[in-house]
Amino acid sequence: MHRFLHPTTDYEHNELVLYLQVLPQGLYIGGAMAFVDVFMVRLGAPNWLVSLGTSLPALVQMLTVLPLGALIQRRRRLLHDFNLTRVVGRGFYSLMALAPFLPPALAPVAIVVLRTLSALPGAAQSVCFGTVMGKATTPERRARMFSTRWGLMRVSMAGVGFAVGIWLESVAFPLNYQVLFASSVLIGAATAYALSKLRLAPDPPVSEEQQERVRLRAIPDVLRRIPRFRNYVLARLVLQLGISLSISVIPIYRVRELGASDGWLGALLTIQNVVQIVAYAGLSRLLRKKRFRQKLWLSAVGIALFPLTTALATHPTMLVIPAVLGGLFASALNVFLMDELMAVTPEDERPILVSINTFVTAMVGFGAPMLGTAIADATTLQVALYLSAALRAMGGITYWWLSRKRTISGVQTV
């Protein structure tokens, strides 16, 4: 514990900063971000508008992440850009507190607009995040740092989810949601202050090749030149399709089909976070052994159980099962995807490669949520959830197949 609180190297110092920074971050993720779709449903938003609130931010990311990645690589001001975009993005979420003052038909539309605007700083933030994480510690310490950091964030989120559920149940609507969202900008400022204490190595000079803007037509050349990164993106594409397909369907199913209350939704979030706390603690130990790191791709298959068991639920209490399974497999999947991305991207090209990865996942994130609700409207919500489960499992199998070709490292995670 003394070594943890009194680091002796820059890497240990950076890890401590990242551990402390993620605690207020958990307040935001477990609060405003977790309940934005529910807020829209409570305001009377139709299914298509709820899915549009997920799809439009992905479209903004898709259109802006490549030029932003090139800009960030040229500027070489990672921490400044990371912190600025974090505060601005949280500011847009804070403005959602004003939505109930608008006419009922416009209130959910305003939330969609603000959520879409927040995607612009969010796109830059995603590029900065991947690059900062790659520089903050060593490759040998990285997977364990990720699991510890996310475990601490889940500790924060577990308490927040429970408290938010009680708050939303005990305070009249819409004041309960307005206070929740208004706090977002303060949390963003707190996390930005913590991140400003990172000690990163000076950025190398920017070469002429890195000065060039990445264009859509250049992506195939990049993918051909770096086959491990290409295969990672291909597998992530399939997996992300399964994840994004149900991202809007799940809150609609929970609220409208099963009648889950805000208090119960908060309790489910707490359960899922507690499971992830335990899972991350176990992963921090298991990942020291190579044989466990080589099996992390199984988490991409296991995450299919989340929409599958949600679709099988016939009462709100049955949602405990997907909460437990989702928390368990999401922990390993998070570590797998991020660590793998770091492994397949050379440091000097990481901002551009991370932006390409974000572009591909945002492209899926734009179309898949609307496709999911369209399938649900044409058939049933359960059918859309079953399809999501099948695609998630297929994504995991794609990782396994590509690893057998020995073009993707066996050690990995997000």
Q: Are 348 and 55 in contact (CB under 8 A)?
A: no
Whole-number pLDDT of residue 203: 60
Distance CA 335, CA 330 (A): 9
Name the band, by pLDDT with cuts 50, 70 and 90, for residue 144.
Answer: confident
Range of the domain at 97: 2-200+216-404
Distance CA 136, CA 116 (A): 30
pLDDT tops 50 at residue 316: yes
Q: Are 42 and 228 in contact (CB under 8 A)?
A: no
Question: Is residue 206 in a domain?
Answer: no
Name the band, by pLDDT with cuts 50, 70 and 90, for residue 382.
Answer: very high
pLDDT winner (highest mean) among 22-31, 33-42, 106-115: 106-115
Query: Ramachandran region of residue 203, left (φ > 0), alpha (ψ -120 to 50) or beta?
Result: beta
Name the average pLDDT for the chain.
82
Question: Is residue 244 in a domain?
Answer: yes
Distance CA 139, CA 155 (A): 25
Question: Is residue 205 in a domain?
Answer: no
Question: Is residue 99 in a domain?
Answer: yes
Question: Is residue 390 in a domain?
Answer: yes
Whole-number pLDDT of residue 404: 62
Whole-number pLDDT of residue 409: 39
Give 112 or 63, the one with higher predicted confidence. 112
Question: Is residue 64 in a domain?
Answer: yes
Predicted TM-score (pTM) of the model is 0.70
pLDDT tops 50 at residue 408: no
Question: Is residue 207 in a domain?
Answer: no
Query: Structural domain tally of the chain?
Result: 1
Distance CA 311, CA 300 (A): 19
**pLDDT over 70, % of the chain:** 88
pLDDT tops 60 at residue 210: no
Find the CATH number of the domain harbouring 115: 1.20.1250.20
Question: Is residue 314 in a domain?
Answer: yes
